[in-house]
Amino acid sequence: MNTDHLTEEQAVELVDNDMKSEGKVSSTQELLDSGVIPALKGFTVRPGKVSDSIYGGKVKFTKKDGTVVEAENPRLVTRDGRPLRLMIRTQRISAHDINRGEIPFKDQILAANHNYMRRLVEPAIGTSQFEVPGLEDNGVVIAAENLQLIPVENIFRAYMAKSSTSTSLYQAWKRGDKMFAGHLVPEGLVVNGPLPYVMDTPSTKSEDHDVTSSPEELIRQGHIAPAQYTALRNGGLVAFGMAAQFLRGKGIILVDTKFEHGINKDGKIVSQDELLTMDSSRFWLASDYDAQTERFHRGELEERNPKSYSKEFARGFSEGEQGYTDEQRRVIAARYVIGIQELLGKRFEPNMRPRDERVVRGLQKIVEHLAAR
């Protein structure tokens, strides 16, 4: 641990102090309805699992109580005519497709994580995101082109990570499946051990649940064209390799990650949503993994269980449909803090301004810099 970094004890204390001062936070919809951002008054916000979206045109979603919301937003485009999507990160955490509550600092930690890695892999897979002067890397508001969605998530795996997720290679291996996402399941796999090659394992993207499929099946079902999948796979493999090599040099192992894509106004396939974050990826502390590997090969360990910086750590606390307790939220938040320090190589310095203020200022900057009048 860098001596300038917060220790785990200090991270827990930081999180604990933040939780003690937690107050009411306005929803994104409440902020827009208040008229504090005149250009966005009258827009209907589309809430997601962990972020909210604002865009022009038809909006449709289902609330928790089953109510279907349908609305027609005003036109929202950039000055050069590109459809604009504003995304607002929240502190919500979803595990097994269930909202488990809010994790202190998660919104700004994942924003900094995403922006740091996005710039690294953008040459390989492009981006829908716009750079906006004055927006901090840990700012919770993101401006991007509203793409034509390709309803496929592509998960790239370099290890067979132990996972409670039903769509994981680990669960397929436990079931004794011979095929997984179009790949023969290799013989001799061990829990948390390396794969013989980086596997592309796509799934259909849906709001309710995802289904792992082979590329051939996704093409047959009309979710994606053959040339599109080739572009997604090739670009994703290059991006994965770039990130894995870079992170290993920082003492972090990239275990797996998820990429999502869409088609922009120019007809080009580019990445969308978050890239290589602790929510969309698994990261292991390399020194811990390497030490455990030596013990594993000597027969001193039945399986490796390296220190992880990913949402999988949080999933371990999940029980039924219950939310996380305050103590669980505290522990999870501290792990995110330590993780971002390892990734960025510097001390975590949170933005302590009220969240409402940060959201409003971010939206105002984007509207002023990008949006057509």
Domain ranges of the chain: 16-146+349-369, 148-297
Percent of the chain at pLDDT above 70? 98
Angstrom distance (rounded) from CA 250 to CA 252 = 6
Residues 149, 143: Cα–Cα separation, whole Å? 16
Q: In this structure, what token pair is assigned to residue 144? A: 């991007």
User: What is the C-alpha separation between 189 and 170, in angstroms, rounded?
Assistant: 10
| Gyration radius of the chain over CA positions | 21
pLDDT tens, position by position, 33-44: 999 999 999 999
C-alpha span between 13 and 299 (Å, rounded)? 38
Q: What is the pLDDT, as a whole number, of residue 318?
A: 83
**Do the domains spanning 16-146+349-369 and 148-297 agree at the CATH topology level?**
no
User: What is the distance between the alpha carbons of residues 280 and 109, in angstroms, rounded to a whole number?
Assistant: 13
Write phi, then psi, for 239 (nearest 5 degrees).
-60, -40
Phi, psi of 310 (to 5 degrees): -165, 170
| Mean model confidence pLDDT for the chain | 94
Give residue 165's pLDDT band: very low, low, confident or very high (50, 70, 90). Answer: confident
What CA–CA distance (Å, rounded) separates 42 from 65? 23
Q: 140-158 pLDDT, tens per residue?
A: 999 999 999 999 999 999 9
Q: Which CATH superfamily is domain 16-146+349-369 in?
A: Phosphorylase Kinase; domain 1 (3.30.200.20)
pLDDT confidence of residue 206: 62
Contact 363, 141 (CB under 8 A): yes
Task: Take residue 125 and report the two structure tokens written for it.
Answer: 């897979």
- pLDDT exceeds 90 at position 131: yes
Report percent pLDDT > 90 for the chain. 85
CB atoms within 10 A of CB 206: 11
- pLDDT number for residue 164: 82
pLDDT of residue 2: 65
Write down the pLDDT at residue 332: 93
Helices (H), 21-75: 28-33
pLDDT digits (tens, 9 = 90+) for 282-320: 999 999 999 999 999 999 999 999 999 988 788 888 888
Distance of alpha carbon 161 from alpha carbon 201, whole angstroms: 14
Instruction: Say what the pLDDT of residue 127 is.
Output: 97
Using a 10 angstrom Cβ sphere, with 0-12 exposed, 13-18 middle and 19 or more buried, the burial of residue 258 is buried
Q: Which band of pLDDT confidence, cut at 50, 70 and 90, is reported for residue 238?
A: very high
User: Among 120, 118, 113, 121, which Cα is nearest to 131's?
Assistant: 118
195-232 confidence digits (pLDDT tens): 999 999 999 966 556 789 999 999 999 999 999 999 99
Count CA within 13 A, CB hemisphere, residue 51.
Answer: 20
Please tell me what DSSP assigns to residue 35: T
Give residue 207's pLDDT: 58
CATH of 148-297, one of 3.40.710.10, 3.40.250.10, 3.40.50.880, 3.30.470.20: 3.30.470.20
CB 170 within 8 A of CB 160: yes
Please write the tens of the pLDDT for every residue from 178-200: 999 999 999 999 999 999 999 99
Which DSSP category does 56 fall into? S
Write out the two tokens for 121: 């892999």
